[in-house]
Amino acid sequence: MRSAGLDFRTREFALREFPDPAPPAAGEVLIRVQEAGICGTDRELASFRFGFPPEGESFLTLGHEALGQVVETGPGVVDLHAGDWVVPMVRRPCAPRCPSCARGRRDLCVSGAFTEAGIFGRHGYLRDYATDDASDLVRIPGHLASRAVLIEPLSVVEKAVETALRIHEPGARTALVLGAGPIGMLAALLFRLRGLEVSVHSLEPPDHPRVKLLERSGIRYVAALGNMRVDIALEAAGSPAAAFAALGALAPLGVGGILGSPNATGGMPFLDLLRYNQAVFGTVNAGPEAFVRAVEDLAALEADVLDAMIFRVRFEDISSTLAAAPSTAAKTVHVLAE
Ligand code: BGC
Ligand code: ZN
């Protein structure tokens, strides 16, 4: 089978042929990968800034946002059947389990000994077939399959939105999202679905197709933040400038969420945080219940907006899509099975 990933010995991206997987063992499921999405994490991995291959190997198959179809189930698997559509969870619990992993919150793992498919110590889904534990797969209703490649990024957003809403004391009415990439767009759509008044601020010009798409869903694009104050502000731009802007835009009791910014010095508004009883949180990854909510919300979000976010390309185009985002659409998706 085909596979695309990183050779950590030569520090190069490579396409490789691997033997097809063996039949699934007890509790396991063999899936045919249908499609795999690419994000900023993959581009950072491809520059070898982080990530590592499975133990004892030098190659890491990339791809952590995937949709697959069950080919065969191993003994003891009762919830999944051949033909079912599934989305794999990215993170796998640590062993022996830390308190978070033990209570089903692998996304909150405190030992750091977790693995993440396509990222840390476990092969991803830019390959024709994969074998997973049934407990790491989320079943998708067939009518959602054409948009289900968005479930993994949506699960990350589900956790962030849920965390922000939970922390905000009296209940938030307004939200600002910094960034209009896939995570920023999905966050804005989800806040809207939760009934908040939503604004997006990003580097994209006001006539950008992604901005227009958000406006169609009742989301306001703001070119300059000025004195804007909101209950919740999320940084989804991967930049410290956006993170500082998010904190600076918080109203009293406001909650700021950091999803992608690297470290930076200066500018933390400590005095405002204490004076206005504000909170800041960071979040990464998503646990099983966030995936379940993502499946529900994928069905509730406007189908044509989600469809317009997806740009499908061939598996073979992977080296060029890793080098640069190829289109104005939000999410580049590689099709493996026709
Ligand atoms: C993925 C997360 C993952 C994170 C860091 C993101 O792109 O969506 O599931 O935890 O990268 O590895
Ligand atoms: Zn991702």
- Per-residue confidence in pLDDT tens, the chain, 338 aa: 999 999 999 999 999 999 999 999 999 999 999 999 999 999 999 999 999 999 999 999 999 999 999 999 999 999 999 999 999 999 999 999 999 999 999 999 999 999 999 999 999 999 999 999 999 999 999 999 999 999 999 999 999 999 999 999 999 999 999 999 999 999 999 999 999 999 999 999 999 999 999 999 999 999 999 999 999 999 999 999 999 999 999 999 999 999 999 999 988 899 999 999 999 999 999 999 999 999 999 999 999 999 999 999 999 999 999 998 878 899 999 999 98
d(CA 191, CA 39): 21
| Gap between the terminal Cα atoms of the chain | 15
156: exposed, middle or buried (C-beta count within 10 Å: 0-12, 13-18, 19+)? buried
What is the distance in A from the centroid of ligand 2 to the CA of 295?
17
**Protein residue with least CA distance to atom 4, ligand 1:** 285
Q: Which of 154, 285, 322 to mutate to test the pocket of ligand 1 (most atoms within 8 A of CB)?
A: 285
**Protein residue with least CA distance to atom 3, ligand 1:** 285
19: exposed, middle or buried (C-beta count within 10 Å: 0-12, 13-18, 19+)? exposed
What is the distance in A from the centroid of ligand 1 to the CA of 221?
26
d(CA 113, CA 34): 29
> Residue 241 — φ and ψ, nearest 5°?
-60, -40
List all residues whose CB is within 6 A of at least one atom of ligand 1. 39, 41, 64, 90-91, 116, 119, 152, 156, 284-285
C-alpha torsion sign, points 87, 91, 97, 102: negative
d(CA 227, CA 98): 44
What is the distance in A from the centroid of ligand 1 to the CA of 23?
29
Atom from ligand 1 closest to the CA of residue 284: 10
Outline where 209-330 has alpha helix (H): 209-216, 240-248, 270-275, 288-300, 303-309, 318-323
What is the distance in A from the centroid of ligand 1 to the CA of 285?
5
Among 234, 238, 218, 241, which Cα is nearest to 165's? 234
What is the distance in A from the centroid of ligand 2 to the CA of 169?
30
Question: Does residue 62 contact residue 39 with C-beta atoms inside 8 Å?
Answer: no
Residue 190, SS3? helix
